[in-house]
Amino acid sequence: MNATNDYPVILEHMSKAFRVDGRLVSALEDVSLQARAQEFVTLIGPSGCGKSTLLNIICGLLEPDEGTIILHGERNAPRLGRVGYMPQRDLLLPWKRVLDNILLGPQIMGRDLAEARREALDLLPLFGLEGFENHYPATLSGGMRQRAALMRTFMCHHDIVLLDEPFGALDALTRRTMRRWLLDVWARFRQTILFVTHDVEEALFLSDRIYVFSPRPGRIILEMALDLPADRRERQAAAPEFVAYRQRLLQALGLEEG
Amino acid sequence: MAEFPVAARPSWRRRGRLALAQYLPAAALVLTLLVLWELATHLWKIQPWLLPAPSAIWKAGLAAKGLLGPHTWQTAQETLWGFLLALGVGLGLGLLIEFSPLVRYALYPLLVVSQTIPIIAIAPLLVIWLGYGIWPKIIVVGLVCFFPIVVNTADGLRSADPELIALLRTMGASEGQIFRLVRWPGALPMIFSGIKIAITYSVVGAILGEWVGASRGLGVFMLRATNSFRTDWVFASIAITAILSVCLFGLVSLAERLALRWYYAAGRGERWEELKPSRLPKATR
């Protein structure tokens, strides 16, 4: 029991296939991975490698064809409503003001809304949304909408959070600031994060551990624990170990330079 | 609660200017046409029973206001009840169609067919079945109005973003919560469009119902006026019909604006305007 408690997320030999126009397409094949408590784990791979399918399975939207999911030591437990999930699109409800969007989780879970509202108002500055709580989402910039979506995810108070390319739709400059800012927020909440990206630099700047996926069907072809400074601000793109990690990542992805 | 964002709202003066720019052309056009009409009747000495002048219509209408009032009130009542019936039935059927595929397949073709039957053929039957009271008129209005409401309700509920629904599922939302938080509010703009189409048909529906058999209402008044060559009264009741329709449409639009604040807020971010007029082709609004 203790061993599984150290790993809030464990996937064992998971496979998932879909039927597409009568053909059988395998999305995931024999995927096993685990994430330690408070660990930042990144899943990286080419698009269409089944990373999103994997997250959909973990949060309970899909069931695997084969394999086991162990969340907090519980085998194949019901997962809907127990894992925080943030898709690539912000998916804010256009008819709700920012604050009400952020309080969607507490509202659905039937938590004390007055208390949740107080907490949210306290947290607004951390998410850079102070003064915008009564705006409708349509009047916010892309970065702000994404931060509101992340705050909505965090307000669900799950200790496992899945982030599916949360900055994928943003421009390069906004991405950099959002990355910084995600780390600040995470430093405060310290959930176990499963982060999907196909940006190598992003993975190296953010993660404790990286899983590299093959093109479809998605298989794990490399697991890499990063021995880089735990304080992300001290990670330097030019540092020799950083360069070495990047080289290994690019190689595994079949993208090595030179 | 903090106050509503100020920057997103234009000033009252600006709003007034925008409203003026929006409504002035139509008002000016109507006024011009009325003046031309007036001049034409005097210039060519058109017989009043053929085409009365707008001023004569106005005078005749005022003189007959004791007569027109009760007729108008009757028609307004029929319209309102018929519309409410259509609203209830329309929303109900729309929900049923959305939630049961069986109902969808069974009912949808029938609904379409129901719109191909000429109301003018049904209306006399309704009088035979239900008598000369208010019910046949209410039902005619309902028949004329319910279709756009059903279709837009069903389609609106159907068009909910599946990813949004999936997100709510991951939060542990029940079907009821998903309906309340996503499907219904998302469908409202389309439902209101359906209601707006319906309400423009509604008054004409009531008059149609009166036409085939009634003792009171603008339809009856029009028939009698036509039969006694009181063309001025015919036009007066046409004008009242139009005004009634426009007022009802305005009420629905107002309700829509109040219910869909978010929908109208979307287009009201900061507005960047050029100081000099642009040479670029104007984007259509």
- Mean confidence (pLDDT) of chain A: 89
Percent composition of chain B: helix, strand, coil (DSSP 3-state, to 5): 75, 0, 25
pLDDT of residue B273: 64
Mean pLDDT of B227-255: 94
Q: Are the Cβ atoms of A138 and B266 closer than 8 angstroms?
A: yes
* Main-chain dihedrals φ then ψ at residue A23, nearest 5 degrees: -85, 150
Output the DSSP codes for chain A.
-HHHHH-SEEEEEEEEEEEETTEEEEEEEEEEEEE-TT-EEEEE-STTSSHHHHHHHHTTSS--SEEEEEETTEET---TTTSEEE-SS----TTS-HHHHHTHHHHHHT--HHHHHHHHHHHTTTTT-TT-TTS-GGGS-HHHHHHHHHHHHHTT--SEEEEESTTTTS-HHHHHHHHHHHHHHHHHH--EEEEEES-HHHHHHH-SEEEEEPSSSB-EEEEEE--S-SSGGG--TTSHHHHHHHHHHHHHTT----
Q: Are the Cβ atoms of B163 and A131 closer than 8 angstroms?
A: no
Quick: pLDDT tens for A174-223: 888 888 888 888 988 899 999 998 889 889 999 999 999 998 888 999 99
Judging contacts by C-beta atoms under 8 Å, the chain B residues touching residue A61 are 166, 169-170
The answer as to CATH 1.10.3720.10 being correct for domain B52-259 is yes
Q: Are the Cβ atoms of B266 and A139 closer than 8 angstroms?
A: yes
Is residue A60 within 8 angstroms of chain B, CB to CB? yes
Look at residue B2 and tell me whether its pLDDT is greater than 50. no
Judging contacts by C-beta atoms under 8 Å, the chain A residues touching residue B1 are 134
Mean pLDDT of B138-164: 93
Look at residue B209 and tell me whether its pLDDT is greater than 60. yes
Chain B residue closest to A140 (CA)? B269
Q: What is d(CA A119, CA B137) in angstroms, rounded to the nearest whole number?
A: 56
Distance from CA of A13 to the nearest CA of B (A): 23
Q: What is d(CA A52, CA A237) in angstroms, rounded to the nearest whole number?
A: 28
Look at residue A154 and tell me whether its pLDDT is greater than 70. yes
Chain A residue closest to B161 (CA)? A91
Q: Are the Cβ atoms of A108 and B181 closer than 8 angstroms?
A: yes
Judging contacts by C-beta atoms under 8 Å, the chain B residues touching residue A108 are 168, 171-173, 177, 181
Non-local (6+) Cβ contacts of A195 within 8 A are: A40, A41, A42, A43, A163, A166, A203, A206, A207
Band of residue B234 on the pLDDT scale cut at 50, 70, 90: very high
Look at residue A6 and tell me whether its pLDDT is greater than 90. no
Q: What is d(CA B24, CA A42) in angstroms, rounded to the nearest whole number?
A: 60
Look at residue B139 and tell me whether its pLDDT is greater than 50. yes
Chain A residue closest to B185 (CA)? A95
Look at residue B187 and tell me whether its pLDDT is greater than 80. yes
Judging contacts by C-beta atoms under 8 Å, the chain A residues touching residue B172 are 80-82, 108-109
Q: What is d(CA A81, CA A156) in angstroms, rounded to the nearest whole number?
A: 9
Distance from CA of B91 to the nearest CA of A (A): 20
Task: Please tell me whether the overall predicted TM-score, pTM, comes out greater than 0.90 for this model.
Answer: no
Q: What is d(CA A197, CA B207) in angstroms, rounded to the nearest whole number?
A: 64
Distance from CA of B201 to the nearest CA of A (A): 29
pLDDT of residue B137: 93
- Of A80, A93, A133, Cβ closest to residue B170: A80
Look at residue B270 and tell me whether its pLDDT is greater than 60. no
Judging contacts by C-beta atoms under 8 Å, the chain B residues touching residue A134 are 1-5
Instruction: State which of A71-75, B238-242, B260-264, B278-282 shows the largest mean pLDDT.
Output: B238-242
Chain B residue closest to A157 (CA)? B171
Selected residue with higher pLDDT from A178 and B176 = B176
- Mean confidence (pLDDT) of chain B: 88
Quick: pLDDT tens for A67-100: 999 998 888 888 998 999 998 889 999 999 999 9
Mean pLDDT of A226-252: 87
Quick: pLDDT tens for B16-32: 888 888 889 999 999 99
Percent of chain A residues topping a pLDDT of 90:
53
pLDDT of residue B102: 92
Q: Are the Cβ atoms of B171 and A109 closer than 8 angstroms?
A: yes
Kindly list the domain boundaries of chain A, sorted by start residue.
Answer: 90-157
Is residue A80 within 8 angstroms of chain B, CB to CB? yes
pLDDT of residue B268: 56
Judging contacts by C-beta atoms under 8 Å, the chain B residues touching residue A118 are none
Band of residue B1 on the pLDDT scale cut at 50, 70, 90: very low
Band of residue B129 on the pLDDT scale cut at 50, 70, 90: very high
Distance from CA of A92 to the nearest CA of B (A): 8
pLDDT of residue B285: 43
Kindly list the domain boundaries of chain B, sorted by start residue.
Answer: 52-259
Choose the weakest-confidence range: A117-126, A164-173, B80-89, B160-169: A164-173
Across the A:B interface, residue pairs with CB atoms under 8 Å apart total 79
Q: Are the Cβ atoms of B172 and A80 closer than 8 angstroms?
A: yes
Band of residue B7 on the pLDDT scale cut at 50, 70, 90: very low
Quick: pLDDT tens for A14-39: 999 999 898 998 999 999 999 999 99
Percent of chain A residues topping a pLDDT of 70:
97
pLDDT of residue B283: 56
Q: Are the Cβ atoms of A138 and B262 closer than 8 angstroms?
A: yes
How are beta strands A209-213 and A40-44 bridged, if at all?
Answer: parallel
pLDDT of residue B278: 64
Choose the weakest-confidence range: A86-100, B33-47, B111-125, B142-156: B111-125
